[in-house]
A and B are shown apart, each in its own frame.
Chain A
């Protein structure tokens, strides 16, 4: 499988999913007007990825400073997908990385964490520069 690499724009995050290392990053802001356009290819990639994945450890490092309400729904769908794969036996870890000065980012992370049962979902504070 090929790496999925999407460059950041002012309103969409940088996405780099690496099927060799099984370390995936999702970083930046997300407030596109049309979420399907950017995220549909991401979901298609993930579907294919999980279909061929064994039980090795997979890490998702997510660092999003801001997302709009429609991206919030996309993220929930994304975590629900990861949770479903965890239930099926995949070894998935999500690291929700937030800046200590950005209270909202921590709250957003907590609200996802509260809604997920089986998925390993860590909240990790980043050192301020």
Chain B
């Protein structure tokens, strides 16, 4: 048995983290995580609009993992829902009067440059610019390789109360670990 599990929990507590998940994630799991987080937040009298923002960011982050994480295992039984299990990590916490959502997943190194450019571009936009950009993208065809509408990061940037933080940590010649933190 791990001796330091309690230590890990204490560490989470100190950082305000009240929810953590690491592993393969599915749409069904996303729905249940969303439901339980809504329940937890409503217990401590969070306004309904804040609850919806946190929920929305968690959904976007989880679905990004489902669509794009490069830590994946192909499933033998192919079905239309998903043909792979994709892994990632999601943390939700409350500190300094704000909720925050952090997520991470592996990304192939050759994809980093594009993503970095996209995120830096969003970091420099104010609320009005983000709204304009969101509306423009919504009417465009998604980028090649996109499995959604290509709006997830803009949506999260619009829900955040301060510019989001992100980073890439190299794991090997092929992949890095991508982390993103949104403060609501």
Contact = CB atoms under 8 A, between A and B. Distances in A.
Nearest to A103: B49
A34 B138 contact: no
B155 interface: yes
A33 B152 CA distance: 12
B148 interface: yes
A69 interface: yes
Contacts of A68: 56, 59-60, 63, 148, 152, 155
A118 interface: no
Contacts of A74: 149
24 contacts: A10-B35, A32-B27, A33-B30, A33-B63, A33-B81, A34-B81, A37-B81, A68-B60, A68-B148, A68-B152, A68-B155, A69-B60, A72-B138, A72-B151, A73-B138, A73-B142, A76-B138, A76-B139, A102-B48, A104-B49, A111-B131, A114-B135, A115-B135, A115-B139
Interface of A: 10-11, 31-35, 37, 65-66, 68-70, 72-74, 76, 80, 101-104, 111, 114-115
Given A11-B27, A34-B80, 9 more contacts: A31-B31, A33-B67, A68-B148, A68-B152, A73-B138, A73-B151, A102-B52, A111-B131, A115-B135
Interface of B: 27, 30-31, 35, 48-49, 52-53, 55-56, 59-60, 63, 66-67, 80-82, 131, 135, 138-139, 142, 148-149, 151-152, 154-155
A33 B67 CA distance: 8
Nearest to B49: A103
A33 B66 CA distance: 8
A84 to B, nearest CB: 13
A114 B60 CA distance: 24
A115 B35 CA distance: 32
In the complex, the 7 A-B pairs of residues with the closest C-beta atoms, listed nearest first? A73-B149, A69-B151, A70-B148, A33-B27, A69-B155, A70-B149, A69-B152
A129 to B, nearest CB: 13
Given A69-B149, A76-B138, A11 B31 contact: yes
B90 to A, nearest CB: 15
Quick one: which of A33, A65, A104 has the most chain B CB within 10 A?
A33
A74 B142 CA distance: 12
Nearest to A115: B135
A34 B139 CA distance: 19
